[in-house]
C-alpha cells in the first residue's frame, strides 16, 4: 500500500505547494509505515520527476498525453483515481491550489472518499481519521472526521513545511483510460500575471488598503514587495473601487492566505479582512490610527504615516539585503 500524492506541475515545473504535499504525504506514510507514490500528469522531464525522491516519493507514475498539458479536471480526476486503484492507496494527498480544488472533489466522488477540503495540519488521529481545517473563513477551526475507506487530504498551500532528504524516485510510465466526456471542457488560453509571485504561495505578502489614498501611490508597495520577493495584495474596498485587481483582494470574501510574513499598510483591520489573513505567522501593521483594530491582531505595529514609514522601511530593507 502507499500514500498517493498528486504532484501538480505548472508548465512542466513543480511548484512549492507540490513539494509541501509530498513532504506531508511522506510524514503520513512514515506514521502508517507505507510508501509514497506521486502521480505526475503532463510534460515533466524525467530528471524533475526523479527529484521528487528528495521530498520522500519512492515512485512516480508519469501520465503523458498531449491533451493533458493543460488542466482538464475530469480527465485529471480519472487518471488520479486509476492510480489510486492501481496502488491500492488508502490516503490521497492533493495540494489545495486552484487546480487541486478542481480535481479533488471529482476524485472524492469517483472513490466515494471523504475529503478534507483545506487541511492545515497532519491528522490528530488516524483512527478515526481526523484532521483540523479552518472554517468560517479563518474565524474558526474544525476537526473533520472522515469515515470512508479511502481518505483524501486537500492540503492548504503554505501550511506544511517542505522537508528534503537524500533520494531519487523511480519513474514509471502509466497510461490510464479516458472517456470522451473527460474532455468536454478545454483550455483555450492562459493569461499569466507575468513575473509575479502567486499570492497563495507567497512566503511574504505586502498588502495595502484605503490608507494609501489612491492607486497612484502603490509604487512603494510594489517596490517593497519586489525587494522582499513578496506578492502584493489589497483590502476589499480597494479592489471594489478598482484601485487594484480583484484577484489581489484578501479577506473573508477574497483570498485566504497564510504567509510567513504579512505587511498590512493603511488597512484598519475589519473582522472580514482579518479572517483572510489570520493564519499569517507574523503580521506587521502600519497605520496612522492608533485605535486601528489591526494593532490587536499584529505581531509588530508602527503607528505612523504610511507615506513616511514605508519609504524608510524600503531603505532599511535595502540596507539589510546588502548586508546579508
CB closer to another protein out of 128 and 170:
128
Out of 65, 69, 102, 168, the residue judged to bind another protein by CB under 8 A: 102
The contact mask relative to another protein for 204-233 (x = CB under 8 A, - = no) is x-----------------------x-----
**Coil/strand/helix, residue 269:** coil
The contact mask relative to another protein for 42-71 (x = CB under 8 A, - = no) is ----------------------------xx
Out of 190, 216, 291, 322, the residue judged to bind another protein by CB under 8 A: 190
User: Quick check: 218 and 208 in contact, CB under 8 A?
Assistant: yes
**Dist CA 225 CA 228 (whole Å):** 5
Site for another protein in 235-274 (CB under 8 A): 239, 246-247, 249, 252-254, 256, 260-261, 271-272
Site for another protein in 138-157 (CB under 8 A): 138-148
Cell of 302: 508602527
**Dist CA 91 CA 129 (whole Å):** 10
Least distance from another protein to the Cβ atom of residue 159, Å:
13
**Dist CA 170 CA 179 (whole Å):** 28
CB closer to another protein out of 46 and 215:
215
Least distance from another protein to the Cβ atom of residue 25, Å:
19
CB closer to another protein out of 93 and 104:
104
- State the CB neighbour count (10 A cutoff) for residue 315: 10
User: Quick check: 251 and 273 in contact, CB under 8 A?
Assistant: yes
User: Quick check: 212 and 99 in contact, CB under 8 A?
Assistant: no
Interface with another protein includes 178 (CB under 8 A)? no
**Dist CA 17 CA 23 (whole Å):** 10
Out of 1, 10, 27, 162, the residue judged to bind another protein by CB under 8 A: 10
Cell of 7: 504532484
Amino acid at each position: 500500500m502507499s500514500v498517493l500524492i498528486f504532484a501538480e506541475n505548472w508548465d512542466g515545473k513543480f511548484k512549492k505547494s507540490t513539494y509541501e504535499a509530498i513532504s506531508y504525504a511522506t510524514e503520513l506514510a512514515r506514521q502508517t509505515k507505507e510508501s509514497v507514490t506521486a502521480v505526475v500528469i503532463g510534460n515533466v522531464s524525467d530528471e524533475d520527476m526523479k527529484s521528487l525522491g528528495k521530498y520522500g516519493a519512492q515512485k512516480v507514475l508519469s501520465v503523458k498525453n498531449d491533451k493533458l498539458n493543460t488542466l482538464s479536471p475530469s480527465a485529471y480526476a480519472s487518471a488520479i483515481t486509476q492510480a489510486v486503484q492501481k496502488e491500492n492507496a488508502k490516503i490521497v494527498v492533493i495540494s489545495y491550489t486552484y487546480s487541486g480544488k478542481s480535481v479533488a472533489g471529482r476524485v472524492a466522488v469517483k472513490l466515494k472518499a471523504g475529503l478534507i477540503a483545506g487541511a492545515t495540519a497532519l491528522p490528530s488521529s488516524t483512527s478515526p481519521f481526523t484532521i483540523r481545517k479552518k472554517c468560517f473563513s479563518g474565524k474558526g477551526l474544525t476537526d473533520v472526521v472522515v469515515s470512508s475507506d479511502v481518505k483524501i487530504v486537500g492540503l492548504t498551500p503554505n501550511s506544511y513545511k517542505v522537508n528534503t532528504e537524500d533520494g531519487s524516485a523511480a519513474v514509471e510510465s502509466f497510461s490510464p483510460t479516458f472517456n470522451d466526456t473527460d474532455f468536454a471542457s478545454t483550455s483555450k488560453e492562459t493569461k499569466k500575471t507575468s513575473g509575479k509571485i502567486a499570492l497563495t504561495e507567497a512566503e511574504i505578502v505586502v498588502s495595502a488598503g484605503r490608507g494609501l489614498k489612491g492607486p497612484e501611490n502603490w509604487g512603494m508597495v510594489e517596490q517593497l514587495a519586489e525587494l522582499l520577493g513578496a506578492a502584493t495584495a489589497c483590502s476589499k474596498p480597494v479592489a471594489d473601487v478598482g484601485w487594484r485587481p480583484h484577484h489581489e483582494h484578501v479577506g473573508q470574501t477574497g483570498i485566504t492566505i497564510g504567509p510567513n510574513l504579512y505587511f498590512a499598510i493603511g488597512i484598519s483591520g475589519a473582522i472580514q479582512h482579518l479572517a483572510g489573513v489570520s493564519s499569517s505567522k507574523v503580521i506587521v501593521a502600519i497605520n496612522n490610527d492608533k485605535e486601528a483594530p489591526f494593532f490587536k491582531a499584529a505581531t509588530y505595529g508602527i503607528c505612523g504615516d504610511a507615506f513616511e514609514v514605508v519609504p524608510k522601511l524600503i531603505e532599511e530593507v535595502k540596507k539589510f539585503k546588502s548586508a546579508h
